[in-house]
Every structure is written in structure tokens, then in C-alpha cells.
Amino acid sequence: MKYYIADTHFGHENILKLDNRPWDNLEDMEADMISRWNARVTDSDDVYILGDFCWHSKAHWIRLLTSLKGRKHIVLGNHDLKEFPQKILDLLADEPQKLLGVIDGGHHVVLCHYPILAYWHDNQQDSVMLYGHVHNTVEDEAVRAGVAAAKEYIKENKPDYVYCGNLHNVWCGYYDYAPATLEEILKNKY
């Protein structure tokens, strides 16, 4: 099974206020998020983390990665480590990437921390772009408005081209602070 999640911000005290997260302190947030993750994910599952995983020390990264189930794939965010020591790389399924493409069921899935309006195969219904970075902010509303505007513009100016605009924000708060399957993501309207 494949799962996706973005912007967990482990170790980031201020994220409790910025995201209006439902915990009183960082320790409770992390314990609960680890529990939610491990209740869904098995060690044989793949979890694609779309950036901003952890704001803390390399030792904290190691503690988290060893506490969380699944084969972890990191898609780099703006608040992730700039250099990964071998101890962390050994805990990941592969080298961290800025952009990644995977097949999930019948879908080609483009993964990036940042939303990409024009993504690979954006004219095919089975192609999906998953992103994070914008959490549940006005920027996310702007992304959705941009997708709607792109669809309308292309329809009016190049009617023979079908822009599908299948962009989905996988900010952890939209999925009960746990990794979500592609099926759950495609059904979620935030």
C-alpha cells in the first residue's frame, strides 16, 4: 500500500498555533501523530513524505524515522535537512528527492512539496499532482483558484487540449494528521 503526507513539522513548536493544531504541546502532538501513523501503516507499506517532515536535530529525525512504520520516501521541503547523514539515509527507502513520480493503481502520481500547475501528463485524467507546503492557508485557496482559472483559460483558448488539473494538497491536517491513501486523497474535498 502507498500512503502520502506533507507538512508534519515534527519538532516545530510554533506550528501548533500556525496550523491551529488540536494539541496543547509538541510532545502530545508528536506522540499522537506517531500513534495515528502507526495505526494505519505497516512496515511493508510505502509512505511518501512531501516535505517539512521535521524541524529538529538529526537525532530527532532518527528517533522519528525509527518510531514510524513503513518504508519512508522523502520529497524535500523548504524546512527539511539540507544534508542527510548516512544514519538517516539508512532509515529511508531511497535518497531524498525534490520531485518524484510513482505509479499508484492506475494513476501516475507526481510528488512535490510545492504545487505545480503544469505537471507531467496534466492532460490525462489518471495523472495526479500531490503537494504540500501551503497547509490550509489562503495560498492553498489561491492554488485551487489557479487550477480553475487554468482550466477555463485552456478551454477557451485551446479547446482541443484537455487540462485536467488534478492537484491535491496532502497537508497532514486534511487527513486527520496521518498518512492517507491515494483513494482517500481523491475523495477528500478538504
CA nearest neighbour of 7 among 179, 186, 131, 172: 172
> Rounded CA gap, 70 and 7, in Å?
17
Fold of 2-187: Purple Acid Phosphatase; chain A, domain 2 (3.60.21)
Compute φ and ψ for 142, nearest 5 degrees. -65, -40
CA nearest neighbour of 173 among 3, 32, 2, 8: 8
Gap between the terminal Cα atoms of the chain: 22
Mean pLDDT of the chain: 96
Q: What is the predicted pLDDT for the residue at 190? A: 67
CA dist 72 to 11, 18, 67, 147, Å?
18, 26, 11, 29
Q: What is the predicted pLDDT for the residue at 98? A: 97
Evaluate if residue 38 carries a pLDDT over 70.
yes
Q: Which amino acid does the sequence have at 77?
A: G
Give pLDDT tens digits for 103-157: 999 999 999 999 999 999 999 999 999 999 999 999 999 999 999 999 999 999 9
- Which helix (H) or strand (E) segment holds residue 111: the answer is strand 107-112
Evaluate if residue 56 carries a pLDDT over 90.
no
